[in-house]
């Protein structure tokens, strides 16, 4: 039997052709008929079957006893205990005593993501966190302040641009991020084939950089200085391009004022990019027929991520490369989550409350994950005493993971919705396992809104009968919400439980069908519905990106704000760090992470086919830095930071910027109690035993994984 489906592992939404024989997958290939991916596939998609067939995957609810031993438990017992224990903690210590952490996979699970809204309402807690504040939050922050909606995230129109400048991103490894662009390397090669240019700025000469026309080293954490220097040139040399944006924007003079004093010559020593290079890139950007300036993880997860995301948008606007073909544009998804959220007043929020210990700001109802451990470990009113984790492994994916390990071990109660007994869920008292990705519906609700071409595709489960006693994520999450409300009692609990029950009866397919019907393609001749998507297993092409402004602006005054007050004010924090010399480590090295095409954060390391070969958890270090420390290629080294120390093998690499070292994200599978047999044989070391919860963007609360000061020496 051959089936078409969408890979649900990363943002690329690649179409797959899967052969099944006797209930087992025998072949996985790219779907050449998919209008977005056009046959592209990466190694992770082939390993989907490894995830589904993994003997370490949990096949039913598990309970940990007082001696730390795990045993199976029925769904009724498990959910009953969860409801009772969570309600008890909140009754004794207040609503905020129970927290929630949601991991990255929920962004790829439309039904689970929608059900989470009910769980958040049922909890009524301010201690909500997610991978957002360890990832893309600065882009959402800039979108809220500039365009009026946190989900108004523009993407590069890569298929029609003549110039693409990439800052702090490696789409060759990520498959594109906040840019759903399967086969991105072919798309970048096509820019060059049609006479355009691709230019990369990164502290490492990545595979993306090697395939570009030019690569320039840039010191970690200084991207905002570089972007301000570009703006300085654009204003100084009169390179702004008049256009429609002038009719629906404000703040141009304030933006110009913010760039004063940040000339390329002034910042060159701090940034590591020669002044003439910066001037040349600003001129190229302004004079190109079409251009897109794009920045991603490296510009987000640093001390000035909010400034970087704002400045990237602003440069694209004032050079006339915004909301027009070949520039940054907005997708028009069939099920538009931004429009749906707006209908219920959910455009986003900022700083409505702050964290109890470090006074970090709320964003869209969540607190920064960097504050999660201290909220558990610091006694006093409001202390976090119980935690729910959903599809996340924060012990390996958030700053100062060792501290979070200690914090989770101190909790009164913890429940995890997860496929595995991993480095985080080993602390849980109850684990509730969901179905595998091949056993549930898939629709890219979030990532169709970030796609470089408008398409829609729905994939029913490959396997209708789940293996073991597992349940869909959305069902588990709604059961927890309903159980907690019932356990709380009273009229609020009774009415809330009835509402969640009604939501469960409607089911995710009806939610999605309704969203499609009220979407931009759901009325008129197209009449896009879920039934139509089911009749088109390879997906439906809805056309290229089209201009959308000013209609899509949702700011109170209907204008695009080029200079939001809170961002302009934050420029002074950057100026102080720059002039004081605190942007760069004093005499040490700056640590950055890195991604790998065969990794997916921390949770695809239990597939033998993805981890075999040469070890990939090594410290990349420039030969000059290694020589100065007496380190040879392949030698075991110790890396230390304020928060901890790890040991790995060194790999000398001239592709690293001198003064910068790189350790990949997601490893460290050597914690006692985790049950990941393949990963345990190649555990690596966790970069987040080195990252620092106080090294963050204080404006947005985003974790600062890039530019962490470290020392490296022979082990």
Measured in whole angstroms, the distance separating CA 624 from the mean position of its chain's CA atoms is 33
Mean pLDDT score, 556-579:
97
Q: In whole angstroms, how far apart are CA 382 and each of 41, 89, 99, 248, 701?
A: 47, 11, 11, 44, 20
Alpha-carbon distance 408 to 17, whole Å? 41
Provide the total of helices (H) and of strands (E) in the chain, helices listed first: 25, 30
Do 538 and 457 touch, CB atoms closer than 8 A? yes
**What's the pTM?**
0.97
Q: Is the pLDDT of residue 586 over 90?
A: no
Q: Is the pLDDT of residue 526 over 80?
A: no
Residue 492 confidence class, pLDDT cut points 50, 70, 90: confident
Alpha-carbon distance 478 to 492, whole Å? 16
Residue for token pair 């469960």 = 504
- Go through the domains of the chain in sequence order and give each one's CATH number: 2-53 (2.20.25.90), 581-714 (2.40.40.20)
Q: Is the pLDDT of residue 37 over 70?
A: yes
Alpha-carbon distance 244 to 322, whole Å? 10
Residue 74 confidence class, pLDDT cut points 50, 70, 90: very high
pLDDT value of position 523: 74
**CA angle 539–540–545, rounded 5-degree value:** 120
Listed in sequence order, the residues at least 6 apart from 328 whose beta carbon sits closer than 8 Å to its beta carbon are 154, 155, 156, 157, 292, 293, 294, 313, 316, 321, 322
Dump pLDDT digits (tens) for 333-345: 999 999 999 888 8
**3-class secondary-structure state, position 456:** strand
pLDDT value of position 537: 96
Dump pLDDT digits (tens) for 241-264: 999 999 999 999 999 999 999 999
Mean pLDDT score, 187-214:
98
Do 195 and 161 touch, CB atoms closer than 8 A? no
Do 161 and 191 touch, CB atoms closer than 8 A? yes
Phi-psi region of 664 (alpha: psi -120 to 50; beta: other; left: phi over 0): beta
Q: In whole angstroms, how far apart are CA 681 and each of 605, 606, 607, 676?
A: 10, 9, 11, 9
Q: Considering just the CA atoms, what is the radius of gyration of the chain in Å?
A: 24
For residue 499, the cross-strand partners are none
For residue 165, the cross-strand partners are 199, 293
pLDDT value of position 458: 98
pLDDT value of position 524: 64
Helices (H), 47-180: 48-53, 75-93, 110-123, 137-147, 171-174
pLDDT value of position 441: 96
Q: Which H helix or E strand runs over 249?
A: strand 249-250
Helices (H), 390-450: 394-397, 401-409
Do 5 and 18 touch, CB atoms closer than 8 A? yes
Nearest to 479 by CA among 40, 74, 58: 74
Alpha-carbon distance 53 to 243, whole Å? 55
Q: Is the pLDDT of residue 197 over 80?
A: yes
For the beta carbon of residue 409, count every other beta carbon within 10 angstroms: 11
What sign has the CA pseudo-torsion 549, 183, 12, 617?
negative
> Which DSSP string do the residues of 151-211 spell out, in sequence order?
T---EE-TTT-SEEEEES--HHHHS-SSSB-TTHHHHHHHHHHTT-EEEEE-SB--HHHHT
Nearest to 326 by CA among 296, 294, 289, 295: 289
Tell me the pLDDT of the chain averaged across its residues.
96
Dump pLDDT digits (tens) for 375-419: 999 999 999 999 999 999 999 999 999 999 999 999 999 999 999
Q: Is the pLDDT of residue 5 over 90?
A: yes
Mean pLDDT score, 477-505:
92
Nearest to 299 by CA among 183, 141, 161: 141
Do 58 and 420 touch, CB atoms closer than 8 A? yes
For the beta carbon of residue 338, count every other beta carbon within 10 angstroms: 22
pLDDT value of position 601: 87
For residue 541, the cross-strand partners are 455
Q: Is the pLDDT of residue 503 over 60?
A: yes
pLDDT value of position 592: 97
Do 256 and 238 touch, CB atoms closer than 8 A? no
pLDDT value of position 585: 78
Residue 525 confidence class, pLDDT cut points 50, 70, 90: low
Rounded percentage of the chain residues whose pLDDT exceeds 70 = 100
């Amino acid at each position: 039997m051959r089936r078409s489906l969408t890979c649900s592992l990363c943002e690329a939404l690649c179409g797959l052709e899967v052969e099944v024989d006797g209930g087992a997958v025998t072949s996985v290939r790219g779907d050449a008929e998919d209008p977005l991916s056009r046959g592209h596939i990466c190694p992770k998609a082939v390993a989907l079957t490894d995830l589904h067939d993994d003997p370490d995957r949990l096949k039913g609810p598990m309970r940990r006893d007082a001696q730390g031993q795990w045993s199976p438990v029925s769904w009724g017992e498990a959910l009953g205990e969860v409801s009772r224990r969570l309600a008890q903690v909140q009754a004794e210590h207040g609503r905020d005593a129970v927290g929630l952490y949601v991991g990255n996979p929920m962004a790829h699970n439309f039904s689970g993501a929608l059900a989470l809204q009910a769980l958040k309402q049922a909890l009524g807690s301010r201690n909500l966190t997610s991978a957002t504040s360890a990832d893309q939050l600065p882009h959402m922050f800039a979108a809220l302040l500039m365009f009026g909606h946190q989900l108004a995230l523009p993407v590069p129109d890569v298929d029609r641009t003549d110039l693409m400048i990439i800052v702090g991103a490696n789409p060759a490894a990520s498959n594109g991020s906040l840019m759903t662009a399967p086969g991105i390397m072919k798309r970048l090669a096509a820019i060059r084939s049609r006479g355009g240019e691709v230019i990369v700025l990164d502290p490492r000469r990545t595979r993306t950089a090697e395939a570009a026309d030019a690569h320039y080293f840039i010191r970690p954490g200084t991207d905002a200085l570089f972007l301000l220097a570009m703006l300085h040139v654009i204003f100084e040399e009169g390179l702004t391009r008049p256009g429609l944006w002038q009719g629906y924007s404000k703040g141009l003079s304030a933006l110009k004022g913010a760039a004063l004093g940040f000339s390329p010559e002034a910042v060159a020593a701090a940034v590591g990019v020669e002044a003439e290079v910066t001037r040349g890139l600003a001129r190229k950007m302004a004079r190109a027929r079409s251009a897109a300036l794009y920045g991603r993880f490296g510009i987000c997860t640093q001390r000035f991520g909010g400034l970087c995301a704002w400045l990237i948008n602003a440069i694209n606007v004032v050079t006339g490369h915004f909301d027009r073909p070949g520039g940054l544009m907005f997708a028009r998804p069939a099920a538009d989550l931004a429009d749906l959220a707006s209908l219920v007043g959910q455009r986003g929020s900022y700083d409505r409350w702050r964290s109890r210990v470090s006074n970090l700001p709320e964003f869209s109802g969540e607190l920064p994950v960097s504050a999660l451990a201290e909220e558990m470990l610091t006694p006093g009113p409001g202390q976090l005493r119980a935690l729910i984790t959903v599809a996340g492994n924060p012990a390996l994916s958030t700053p100062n993971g060792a501290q979070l390990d200690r914090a989770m071990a101190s909790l009164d109660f913890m429940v995890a919705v997860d496929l595995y007994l991993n480095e985080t869920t080993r602390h849980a008292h109850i684990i509730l396992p969901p179905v595998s990705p091949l056993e549930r519906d898939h629709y890219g609700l979030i990532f169709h809104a970030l796609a470089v071409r408008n398409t829609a595709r729905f994939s029913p489960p490959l396997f209708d009968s789940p293996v073991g006693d597992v349940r869909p994520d959305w069902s588990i999450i709604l059961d927890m919400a309903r159980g907690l409300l019932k356990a709380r009692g009273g009229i609020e609990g009774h009415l809330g439980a009835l509402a969640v029950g009604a939501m469960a009866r409607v089911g995710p397919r009806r939610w999605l069908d309704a969203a499609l019907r009220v979407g931009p393609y759901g009325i008129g001749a197209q009449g896009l519905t879920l039934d139509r998507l089911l009749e088109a297993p390879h997906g439906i092409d809805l056309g290229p990106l089209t201009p959308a402004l000013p209609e899509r602006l949702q700011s109170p005054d209907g204008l695009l704000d080029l200079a939001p007050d809170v961002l302009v004010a934050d420029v002074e924090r950057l100026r102080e760090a720059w002039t004081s010399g605190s942007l760069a480590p004093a005499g040490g090295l700056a640590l950055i992470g890195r991604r790998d095409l065969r990794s997916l954060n921390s949770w695809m390391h239990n597939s033998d086919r993805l981890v075999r070969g040469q070890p990939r958890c090594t410290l990349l270090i420039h030969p000059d830095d290694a020589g100065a420390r007496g380190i040879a290629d392949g030698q075991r080294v110790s890396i230390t930071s304020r928060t901890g120390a790890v040991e790995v093998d060194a790999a000398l690499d001239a592709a690293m910027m001198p003064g910068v070292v790189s350790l990949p994200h997601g490893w460290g599978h050597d914690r006692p109690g985790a049950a990941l047999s393949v990963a345990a044989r190649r555990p690596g070391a966790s970069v987040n035993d080195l990252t620092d919860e106080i090294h963050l963007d204080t404006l947005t609360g985003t974790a600062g994984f890039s530019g962490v000061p470290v020392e490296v020496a022979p082990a």
